[in-house]
Structure 1
């Protein structure tokens, strides 16, 4: 089914056969991508500042994980709920609300006077991000019609999403060394102040024509379930899986998600349409997205430890390594829509995952000699180019053919996959590097498992999305 954009597409949107964007469409894209970039930046900009922040605010080493977890919990836990609320009551309205909340919360975190005020700001940032990300993606996919225009828009969005995480790591170190840790939160405040005045005049309102009742039981169980799982995985990254609270949260998360699936199967107006989840494009596309995000974030985390603790590079030198990665990711984002135009989203997704897996495996050649930095730069940069191709193609795979009324739901799944992927990779694999007696040996173990997981995902996605015609499958799993 093609997406109906008659009521939501900007009148100046480029035609389907012309990927060039009008001036207004470029401004709309700037606003939406700047907001997504800001959220991606927030995932990593604070990481290198944590030790300085802890000393300034009097937070113990064990408490520093909450600077990350306080953001990750609401940003991942409320995504599906806010995506659906935007569908029903107005995506633009919720996007602007989330943007204003994010800006105010960033200001609170910048001015924080004790751990409680700082963590409150971080939690409110996460809540604002949970509103910005799914509604921003929905506004993008409903503003730009399916075809070259949307391909290009998602290519730019995916590039900035990937760059945001990388730029955050570099900028966090530079800002902390020169202006102090508060400047990392101040940067996010400035981003919000830049985007918020432009958004109301540029963004079109968009919602579903019907007004079904909000699935409250489904919203409660999925939000609580995601919160439990994200808390467990985030805590396990620093303390392992043996702690009682981690085990309890994991069990609660599984029970709540199971209850959510049961509720959705019996609800006339579900938060998540189970038939949508049975679409081959949605199911297998999201699997590809989950793997590419979780495994790439693990590689970046592990390489950061390797470069500084094994090769003894400075924070600035390490930042340069990831700066090269960011530049090449930007190049990949520019060319990704063209590649998708020739190969199709499915083939691009499979090829990108395969490339990411092979280049990750090349990192097994890392050793304690300084020259290994060149292998690290080359392999991680090329792997990131493939990663960017996977980001763009999986987003297109999942949202292509989805009715406009369900775009918020589909993009909510896409962004939930992104957030969960960024959250679970490091706890599941990164801990193998941090707990190993020999960091180099631990890094090799992480890289080997990472590569196998990505290559296996490439094979599964290739088989799962294969159709008789070789085109991207859009029918439900049980349709054949």
Structure 2
């Protein structure tokens, strides 16, 4: 019989966990499944918007509100709900989000007019704000910091990116073969399954005993809502529109007030010491860039395929398969690359590859097999870089923080994701529209917007490299 000396016992206790327990596997499947479904929900309606508009009587000018009605609450409330998950219990917030998602999806599928559709999308946005940071913080606190957590975050990033892509494919298939209403109905049984399984599989987290920073919560939520609304209004009406500029100015004032409140609050919603950590700051900056610009690429390529190449929604969706496959491969490889080269290099190189691939799309032509080959090759390379950057930023922005602040950390990463998705499309849509109107060519407008996209991503890669290198030094 072997007897452990005190030193040997301590070494065994300190040894890193190398494999998942059966319970951890169940938790991981459930949490990753919920994250995947939420990601699908963001993109599944993109190629179906014209059909929904015709079916429910939306004007062309108001069609964007089907997307914006979900994006506004998901971006505005994510940070608040992420912190509430720390205080009130993460499983409780996940279940509340799933219940609201089921209700909102059912209402969307049954919608008989614009008002009911907008209300359903708002409910889905609030559901995403509730469930996304809760699920991600449950994931990070279920596994010790290190290779296992990195691998789980890699899978999460894979499913997140694949979800956006598969959502576009699935939306095209459902719209062409059945009806756009099934893009809503498919969520209901999945959400119900999570509601049934989660209480038996996932233990409730212990709440942090502190008061909610109500002034901070109000100002940051209002600031994010006005920021997203201002950018969306500017994208629709132009960047010189007085109303859009007013909303953007209000956002600056509210977010500045939030920062001032956090400096003085006894129990801040988002402690400044966390917000100013280089890993949190530059990790989330990289995440903002990769999400904002890749979502714009998907939008611009959809515009290109349908209005320049004349593709149907189904064919458009299938053309994104390459991105989905590349994203899956990137998610599997990114944790290994991080283990070998470090998160800073993987995040920066992921952005660099995404930017270079987007630059390659600048040479898309008006038709022919060469255009399709370039589109598939460059978009797939960009998808691989994008998912590598996602995994890199999630690990960077959540590492080194205690379990009691993981809801805040994942709330920040989720907010970065939602705000990036929301901001990128209106900005580059405005660039494409302005240039297309001036030249009379949709292709020229798409080219200009893709060039702007690539410049932003490449500049972001350089800034992240410098910012995280200073931290390392």
TM-score when normalising by structure 1: 0.92
Q: Paired residue for 1:449, among 448, 452, 463?
A: 452
Would you tell me which structure has more helix in proportion to its own residues? 2
Output aligned runs, 1:47-446, within 5 Å: 47-208=46-207, 210-370=208-368, 371-435=370-434, 436=436, 437-446=440-449
Indicate if the aligned counterparts of 1:307 and 1:373 stay in contact, CA closer than 8 A: no
Indicate if the aligned counterparts of 1:167 and 1:326 stay in contact, CA closer than 8 A: yes
Indicate if the aligned counterparts of 2:326 and 2:380 stay in contact, CA closer than 8 A: yes
After TM superposition, give the deviation of residue 15 of structure 1 in Å: 6.9
Q: Secondary structure at the match of 1:415?
A: helix
Could you tell which deviates more after superposition, 283-292 or 304-313? 304-313
After TM superposition, give the deviation of residue 17 of structure 1 in Å: 5.0
Tell me the residue number matched to 2:34.
35
Partner Cα distance (2:318, 2:245) in 1: 39
RMSD: 1.6
Partner Cα distance (1:153, 1:270) in 2: 29
Could you tell which deviates more after superposition, 378-387 or 246-255? 246-255
Q: Secondary structure at the match of 1:62?
A: coil
Indicate if the aligned counterparts of 1:65 and 1:235 stay in contact, CA closer than 8 A: no
After TM superposition, give the deviation of residue 186 of structure 1 in Å: 0.5
Partner Cα distance (1:236, 1:188) in 2: 32
Q: Secondary structure at the match of 1:16?
A: coil
Q: Secondary structure at the match of 1:316?
A: helix
Q: Does 1:460 align with 2:463?
A: yes
After TM superposition, give the deviation of residue 58 of structure 1 in Å: 2.3
Indicate if the aligned counterparts of 1:16 and 1:149 stay in contact, CA closer than 8 A: no
Indicate if the aligned counterparts of 1:366 and 1:372 stay in contact, CA closer than 8 A: yes
Partner Cα distance (1:49, 1:15) in 2: 51
Indicate if the aligned counterparts of 2:171 and 2:317 stay in contact, CA closer than 8 A: no
Tell me the residue number matched to 1:4.
none
Partner Cα distance (1:355, 1:252) in 2: 36
Indicate if the aligned counterparts of 1:71 and 1:122 stay in contact, CA closer than 8 A: yes
Indicate if the aligned counterparts of 1:86 and 1:207 stay in contact, CA closer than 8 A: no
Tell me the residue number matched to 1:11.
none
Partner Cα distance (1:124, 1:344) in 2: 39
Partner Cα distance (1:352, 1:190) in 2: 35
Tell me the residue number matched to 1:9.
none
Listed as ranges, the gaps of 5+ residues in structure 1 are 1-13, 474-479
Indicate if the aligned counterparts of 2:172 and 2:316 stay in contact, CA closer than 8 A: no
TM-score when normalising by structure 2: 0.93
Partner Cα distance (1:459, 1:53) in 2: 41
Indicate if the aligned counterparts of 2:91 and 2:205 stay in contact, CA closer than 8 A: yes
